[in-house]
Amino acid sequence: MRRSRALNSEVQLWTVPEDRAGQRIDNLLMARLKGVPRSRIYRMLRKGEVRVNKRRCKADYRVEAGDLIRIPPVELAPEKRAPSIPRRLMAKIERSIIAEGDGWIALNKPSGVAVHGGSGLQFGVIEVLRAIPGLSKTSIELVHRLDRDTSGILLIATKRSRLRWLHQQLRQGTMRKTYQCIVHGRWPREVQSVDFAIVPRTRTGGERIMKAVAATTTEHAAKPALTHYRLIAQRGQFAWLEAMPVTGRTHQIRVHCAAMGCPIIGDDKYRTDKHLKEIEKSKGIDRLGLHAWKLSFLEKENGNRIEICADLPELWRTLGGAK
């Protein structure tokens, strides 16, 4: 039986350098404590074992240059031989790169591919990119996330300075995202915005989901959410929509569509009507009808807006009539 090996036997005190400013504390710890399980890192944060400037912090805290981080003694998980990434997956991810610039690359992520490993998955987009020759020596970090079953534009930073700049745009709202989705039912043309607040819930069995509640709710855990919609076409029992999220809540577009009585096709988490699932089966629908179609952001040097588009998948041609 292999034993864990100590990474450090004493408390570490580490000062955040300038080039790490703006990074989330959980991501920073994962990069610094390689070999320590993600679950252990999040447990340290929850229990207050990790301190920033002698204070507890949450996992989403963004560090600042000069922050003093206290890291407790931790152990590495038993050493394992890193599994090799299948060549087919690596080629698939390489082919999905659709644009790149100074310090960033953009992919048209395929549906069914996770953005990172974990929860039983060995590989995600990030792990594959870090193994690609030419990229393996750069800093590969997610700018934002997409659900595993959502296809479309995924933005990756290849420089720490660019990651900070792009994260700043996410926080300030200057990064714009537009999604295309196909939903069940008839979407009311007059409905152009949905502002249900979103709150986490746990189903029987422990599955975590998000639930839409009134925007005026006083529930403590609820977060305000706003999505703008445009009806592109009504195709019989399906509607083709453009969705522009203003906020970035977990599963926001999916939850808002379901709350309007028009769940996204292929959404097993929020499409609860079994009859709709049978309709999907009869139509040969085998994926989530949500695609991150367009993303734009400002260049740091001159303020010009860069706009990236990802071609619509075949599903939009067969059901939506896209050309």
Catalytic residues, by residue number, are 147
Q: Are 175 and 106 in contact (CB under 8 A)?
A: no
Ramachandran region of residue 134, left (φ > 0), alpha (ψ -120 to 50) or beta? left
Query: How far apart are the C-alpha atoms of 296 and 106, rounded to whole Å?
Result: 11
Paired residues of 172 in beta bridges: none
End-to-end CA distance of the chain: 59
User: How far apart are the C-alpha atoms of 2 and 77, rounded to whole Å?
Assistant: 10
Q: How far apart are CA 95 and CA 118, in angstroms?
A: 23
d(CA 243, CA 293): 10
The DSSP string of 134-188 is TTTTS--EESS---TT-EEEEEEESSHHHHHHHHHHHHHT-SEEEEEEEEES---
Residue 199 — φ and ψ, nearest 5°? -135, 140
Q: How many CB atoms lie within 10 A of CB 1?
A: 3
